[in-house]
Structure 1
Amino acid sequence: MRRRRPVPPAAFLALLAGLLCVPGAACAAPPEGVMSSEAFLKTRDFWPEWERSGEVFRVEGRVRSVAGGTLRLENVPLTVRPSAGSSLGRAENGVARVEVTGRIASGPSGPFLQSTAVRALSSDAAEFNTRKLALDRDDPAALERLAAWAEGRARFYNDPALARRAREVRRDAFDLRWNAAGETTERPNAAPAGVPPGVWAQLALLDAAPDAAPEGGTDGRPAKLADAERADRVHEALRTWWRAVRDDGNADLAALAGQIRRRLPGAATPPAAGAEPPSAELLAAYDRTPAETFAAADEAARAALARRFFARVERTRIEATAAPDGRNGFAVAKVLDARLPELAELAEEYRERELAWRTGRIPSTSRADAAELADLLTQRGEPARAKEVLRTWLAARERSLRSEGVGGLIRAAEEYRALVGDDAAAVRLLTEAYAAANPDSPEEAAVAGRLRDLGMTRAGGRWRTAAEAAAMPIDPITAAMRDGRVVVGMTAPQVRAALGAPPARTQAVSRLSVAEVWIYAPPAAAFRDGLGAGGSIVVHLSRPKSQPPEEATVTAVHRL
């Protein structure tokens, strides 16, 4: 008889560990994936063995604390200490959840988790949002799996907020199953608010009626209903439901609208573009006597009436979200366009309500809001209305900026140019700013520069356009300065502007006045002024002693 080869002890232990490591059971060897902190705690009996064998594993969990180069996970008794050459990474920056890669080791104070890598993870709240966004919101099983994950985390970490969100998802999943529970004859315990029990029982009875059975069948099942009769019964029940809830602001109209869409052919289909609408007489008759009109209609007319019924309920539901002052008109219109495209005129009315609300607030709104509204109106093909919005805002802004003096007037002028390109308004404000600025001040110079940039020139003691300045009669002093001559009445700066600084000058001071003589030698004196040619020009100036030198005026001019 052939003898069996003995199994080595190490191989036997590995074989035994493989047999024991079934899904959901504790294993002698760590799992290959990432363990949650809760799952990690369930392997506690194997930690000594993992320490002896140097098993490397991964565990994730919420961060309880980070201090002294170590980390503690919530509800995990082992301290995380980085191995030589590694660190806690971003965990030191206050992250909420981490994934730790490492092994169990022992030190003077007992076992600890020696990490080789620590990776920052998103918080449970963020992970919840990510999973929720990724799943099919119409799949109750997927929602229930998300709820189960959140419930487990909430229990382990004692997290009421996460538990509440898990309950909300459970509720969403339940609502989906409830809305699809038409094949049962039992009324759900969580039926929508305001549904008459008789209506729900009628719908359940219709769902239980077979598609094929003898009329008046005797097998205990309801008799088969003809398609038209079934539609009549569904329509009648849903109209009864609508009459019971249409005046109840807390009623669950979403459930009713969903039942209409699902049960009445044509209700979910908006009118095709270019299709002939139902006659006004048919629609008026349906509004007066819906049950009788629906029962007498042919298949095509029934589809149109079902859509009208759905639109009435859905419109009521949507309009219930509209703010009385119209501030959310575009949001309401967007929903109307998506769900009831045939009500385009109503959607436009809501947009106009919001535009009116926003326009009324323009004087007190921000520049960005005013510009946004103007852009919106421009996109809608209303440039004149857009400009009026900006002018309304500018008028209010101008009133506010006037209190800031010259600087405010300058900013108001810039706003007029930037928003509506109104150079005339800018000139008006800058001219006012120039008059208010201190003479010869930096503010006056800045305003003057802006006015010149706008094509204005200073002439005749005021700011004028180039055309206005050219049309002005030239005064003798201005003409003399232009020709390089000196005439009586010029000021000292004007003489310097015409001939330059005097090469020689004398001054005589009396008790009340100061007299000066400026002498210009040829060729500066070679000009035609009626005094003859050649020789030096002698300019006599005088001023009261109390006035500055710049205010001295020419009293006489002659040649030597």
Structure 2
Amino acid sequence: MSRTLFTALRLRTALRAICACVALVAAVPGRPALAQDKDVESIEQFLERKARWNELIGADFRVEGRLAVINPPQLRFKRCELEFRMAPELPALPRSTIVAEVRGGLALEDGKLYFKVTEAKARGNDLATLAAQRTRIDTSRAEDWHRLADWAASRGAFYQDPELVNKAAEFHELGLMTEYRKLRGDDRDGLLELAKRAGQFGAEDTVAWRFIHEACRLDFAKLRREARPDDSVLVNRILRMLPGANDPLKPEDAELRRTYLADPQTTYVAADAAVRKKLHRALYAQVLLARIERDAIPSGRNGDAIATRILQQLPELDDVAAEYRRREVDYLSSRVTQLTRDELTKLATRFQVQQRGDDGRRVQQEWLKAQEAARRAEGPRGLMELGDDYIAMLNDERTAAALYQEAYDKNPQAPEPADWFQSRDYVLTNGHWTPQSEAPVEPESRVDLAIREGRVLTGMTGREVRAALGNRPSSVVRQAAKGGVSELWIYRPQAMVVELTRTGSDADAKVKRTYSLAEQ
């Protein structure tokens, strides 16, 4: 070979190597790399340039990755079919090697590419490498956490390694929390941006939820300070971005809700994913309840309507709804004298539903008392109708009887009061109607005592004689007497004769004297 030709060949080889190096530098992908791998590319990065390998023959490479085969002098990396051939003078890697780093270049043999290894060394496994790198980063810099997480995520995806993928999510979360601690306390846009990035990083759902929850609470606090707040955007965000917000809480969650309302942020941060879903509902319920309560009239006048809306939209808040119903009942009670009879009846029923029967009876008494003046002005009819109301509402017969007595006193000839009393076994004594069981007992008369004892007294009528002796006389002898008629009633069983006389002015014959039959 001539000197000129040899020189030309050397120049061409040198130029080819220079071009390869330039291409190598220009073509390094933007894959995440650790600080220790500044001049080393991963098998994944190496494979991404597979289409240009023929152009890169002669270039110097440093490559690292997980080993699949160690069969000296041959090496094979996982996910890469290219043969890595170690130079004969290189010591073999330990068969326990998991990750290796090699240096060398691409070469051709019989038209087939292979990688000629000039240097080789074992490296720590990926988790050990990650742990070591964690000790070297500035933990106050979010970008350091994210760079470490990006490497773990890329590596985990390439090798389908769930441990690395989980580590990536963990480090991204630490990076996000580092950013979170630097936010202003009222930066809701910053919180929503962190939530968005948490989703992009593949962090646990709870990470994004935390940022969204805090942003929603900031919005809610702002709305509460406004005179005419529009909470539609907030409500939609809660329903769209916080799972569980549309699921009513169960009765056993009432204490959790109370704890959350007392200290929302602390309670939320301490909760796991399942509990956070319940807290999302507690937040939604708080926002929606505030919307409903804005329409509540302070006096309680529309408490029932407010309660109905609460139960329709937030059925778990039945205790709050009951309180609003109580407020309306109390409002109506405060103006009971202005109610119609139908309104009063409905109010009393609502007291019964609320298990406040004594209060219901009290307002009915107050209402009835307020009616008395107007009913008295209507005369006996008004008094009787008021008495009927006392019976119907309170089953108060004593007060009703007093009103009917007043009606009777005003018009004793009217049949209605007497009929009412008689239907209830009242008796009239000296112009006053009294229950028969309470009527005064008159002392027994002399005649009644004699009748009860079977004796005949002078002055008794014939009817009283028969009552005393228990039967009719055995025989009767009538004879005319001066100014009237004389009758002799003969009672043979008693051996008695009873003489009765009747003058023209007497309606009944009366006993004049008695004597024994033997005296006859």
TM-score range, shorter chain: 0.3 to 0.5
Which of structures 1 and 2 has the bigger CA Rg?
2
TM-score (norm 2): 0.46
How high is the TM-score relative to the length of structure 1?
0.43
